[in-house]
Amino acid sequence: MLPTTRKMVRSPANGCLAVLFVWSAGSVQADDAAGGQPAEQLALRPYVEHEGQVQPAAGRGRPAATLAIDPAAVMQAAYTDTDAAEVATRQEVESADQPEILWPGFLYGLSGFEDFAHPVSSPIYNHDPFIDTRLNVLYVWHKFPDGCDIKGGDLQVWALQLYVALTERLQLTATCDGYSRLRARALQPDEGWNDLMAGLKYNLLADVDRQFLLSTGLSWRLSNGHARTLHGGVDELNPYVTAAKGFGKCHVIGTVGGRLAMDHNMGNHILYESLHIDYELFENFYPLIEFNGLQYLRNADRLPLGVGGLDYANIGSNDVRGNSTFWGEVGFRWKVVDHLELGATYGFPMMDPDNDIFDHRVTVSVIVGL
């Protein structure tokens, strides 16, 4: 049942206050004048205001006029003040939850998109548009196809990603680092440190009401990694655009970017794309599916191979121009408690796995946020 609300209407002719309206349980009624019955036309009784007190006008017992009303409009007007107060209170609570450190947005970034789940797979290049501060602990196990140029084997990666909100719109990203152990039959087994990659991401558009975000970023990947694990060899520039849209409990995140080798003899130019779709099946639990793909745009002279380095490395193969590869990932994100998320996916090829180095993959992610 709706709460009873009373409104007073001032006559434009003589400035007198008219009858109080009463509405309850979805109907609109007149107080006394209309006998408590719903009506489209309400009789108005004159009132006067004197020294802050509202009283019936003496000798004016008959209705002064009738007023045609739209019940829906009256209901809307009744709750306008309440809605505004609720919005103001909610904004105050959100502001209180994010204290200002040094300057607005530092560390806390852009709020209002907490219902989204972060992507899990292809963690180096599967960007998202959020501006926040978080630490992502990663483990990846990757199986190479037996029929590809490197003749099977596997790869294990341990890594730590860091994202720091510098303002409400600007974020520092460090998405590539860590340690790898490579066991490929066509290559000598080895292990070592990975390349480092860091950059900046800027939010172009944030619409909390429509749950839409659009950001762009630029990262630089250094060639400091261990060459025997297929890292090192070439610096890489990574421009990208990423967007997110919420549809109730369903969320979609997409990224398109380029990997531009700074030395075209040592690395391939690569176009890549990622798509993340999740649904909040239970509170804070998100089953998800993700799709990743890349296209090799240019050959290099570093290795005599017909396969590339996927999203792991830029190995400068000499026979990959025009090749594409796509793979899918299924898994989940679980927001265990505030500021702690778990995620895992299983990846599978969507094309002939022997055309590149993707057979299947397992990714595990633990996010600690601010």
Would you say residue 117 has pLDDT above 60?
yes
* DSSP codes, 250-262: EEEEEEEEEEEES
- Segment 26-53, tens digit of pLDDT: 444 444 444 444 444 544 555 555 565 6
**Do the beta carbons of residue 21 and residue 6 sit within 8 Å?**
yes
Residue 359: count other Cβ atoms within 10 Å of its Cβ: 21
Query: What is the DSSP code (8-state) at residue 265?
Result: T
Q: What is the pLDDT of residue 198?
A: 98
Mean pLDDT of 121-126: 97
Structural domains of the chain ordered from first start: 5-97 (no CATH), 134-369 (2.40.160.40)
Whole-number percent of the chain with pLDDT over 70: 74
Whole-number percent of the chain with pLDDT over 90: 71
Q: What is the pLDDT of residue 17?
A: 45
Mean pLDDT of 243-247: 98
- In the chain, how many H helices and how many E strands? 1, 21
Would you say residue 251 has pLDDT above 90?
yes
Q: Which residues contact 45 (CB under 8 A, 6 or more apart)?
A: 18, 19, 32, 33, 56, 60, 61, 63, 64
Would you say residue 5 has pLDDT above 50?
no
Mean pLDDT of 282-305: 96
pLDDT band of residue 25 (cuts 50, 70, 90) is very low
Give bridge partners of residue 364 from the DSSP assignment: 139, 344
Q: What is the pLDDT of residue 114?
A: 94
From CA 175, how far away is CA 157, in angstroms rounded? 13
Q: What is the pLDDT of residue 78?
A: 45
Comparing C-alpha atoms, which of 223, 220, 252, 225 is closest to residue 239?
220
pLDDT band of residue 14 (cuts 50, 70, 90) is very low
Please tell me which residue, 288 or 46, carries the higher pLDDT value. Answer: 288
**Do the beta carbons of residue 33 and residue 39 sit within 8 Å?**
no
Look at the pTM and tell me if it is higher than 0.95. Answer: no
One-letter amino acid at 226 equals H
Q: Which residues in 159-172 are b (16+ Cβ under 10 Å) and which e?
A: bebebbbbbbbbbe
